């Protein structure tokens, strides 16, 4: 599980229950799933009633999302922070000699925008899959590059999701509808020099109070509990 220590890994495993067979089978086959998103539906009202917004889409580049935002009159940027975090030269040792990631180097190479650039950030499920050392620094950086009043959408797994809950790339299919594409590693990708990529695994489960603490510097947060063991958070900067 990357840089997470074994003791915490065991503790987290006790939190989880088994994933549904249907979801696991769909992910294994690479089949896209469709889900309704109340958070996306609420964010859509802002995206559809204003023009010239600046949107940051965190994840693999989605041609579908780029086309949608462009046709709506918005400017869109895309950064795949999950892949960026797999660079081998980010690995350093902490004060106890344990491997961790170089946060300063990561932030020097990613999310390098002027303060107050973005009106909207689509964080998706990144906090659940990103290495522990990067989660809070990334959220803090997002706070700095968002405009006051800007909105951020994030998804968090509940404890019922299971430790093998697949990592998805999200494509916007409608005002409150998303297509979920399983993030599976191409065999040749993992062989590329300079990377330590394996399967993206669920790193942790956030309780509501942990999510609130993660976004404590933001103005407000609104939760939506979905039926697929996902808790959505719509956060206002």
| Domain CATH for 95 | 3.40.50.150
152 within some domain: yes
When mean pLDDT is compared across 86-90, 189-193, 224-228, the lowest value belongs to 189-193
Number of structural domains found in the chain: 1
- Mean pLDDT for 40-67 is 95
Is the predicted pLDDT of residue 5 greater than 90, yes or no? no
1 within some domain: no
Output the DSSP codes for 198-221: ----------HHHHHHHTTTSSEE
106 within some domain: yes
- Hey, what are 81's tokens? 């922070």
196 within some domain: yes
Which pLDDT tens digit goes with each residue over 146-162?
Answer: 999 999 999 999 988 77
34 within some domain: yes
- Mean pLDDT for 209-236 is 94
- pLDDT at residue 236 in the model: 98
- Hey, what are 119's tokens? 């009106």
In angstroms, the Cα distances linking 104 to 138, 139, 158, 203 are: 11, 14, 30, 21
- Mean pLDDT for 50-72 is 94
Pairing between β-strand 75-79 and β-strand 220-225 as defined by DSSP bridges: unpaired
- pLDDT at residue 71 in the model: 96
75 within some domain: yes
DSSP state of 110: S
Q: How confident is the model at residue 36 (pLDDT cuts 50, 70, 90)?
A: very high
60 within some domain: yes
Q: How confident is the model at residue 163 (pLDDT cuts 50, 70, 90)?
A: confident
Is the predicted pLDDT of residue 213 greater than 50, yes or no? yes
Q: How confident is the model at residue 30 (pLDDT cuts 50, 70, 90)?
A: low
Domain interval for residue 103:
6-236
Q: How confident is the model at residue 61 (pLDDT cuts 50, 70, 90)?
A: confident
């Amino acid at each position: 599980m990357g840089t997470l220590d074994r003791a915490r890994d065991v503790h987290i495993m006790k939190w989880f229950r088994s994933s549904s067979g249907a979801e696991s089978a769909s992910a294994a086959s690479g089949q896209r799933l469709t889900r309704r998103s109340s958070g996306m539906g609420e964010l859509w009202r802002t995206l559809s009633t204003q023009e010239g917004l600046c949107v940051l889409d965190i994840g693999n580049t989605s041609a579908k999302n780029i086309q949608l935002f462009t046709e709506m009159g918005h400017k869109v940027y895309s950064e795949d922070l999950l892949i960026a975090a797999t660079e081998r030269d980010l690995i350093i040792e902490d004060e106890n000699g344990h491997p961790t990631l170089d946060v300063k180097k990561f932030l020097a190479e990613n999310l390098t925008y002027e303060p107050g650039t973005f009106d909207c950030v689509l964080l998706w499920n990144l906090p659940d899959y990103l290495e522990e050392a990067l989660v809070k620094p990334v959220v803090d950086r997002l706070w700095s590059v968002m405009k006051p009043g800007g909105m951020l959408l994030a998804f968090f797994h509940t404890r019922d999701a299971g430790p093998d809950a697949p990592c998805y790339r999200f494509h916007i299919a409608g005002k409150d509808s998303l297509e979920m594409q399983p993030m599976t590693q191409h065999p040749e990708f993992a062989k590329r020099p300079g990377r330590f990529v394996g399967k993206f695994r669920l790193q942790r489960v956030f309780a509501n109070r942990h999510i609130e603490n993660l976004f404590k510097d933001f103005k407000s947060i609104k939760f939506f509990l979905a039926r697929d063991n996902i808790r959505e958070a719509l956060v206002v900067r």
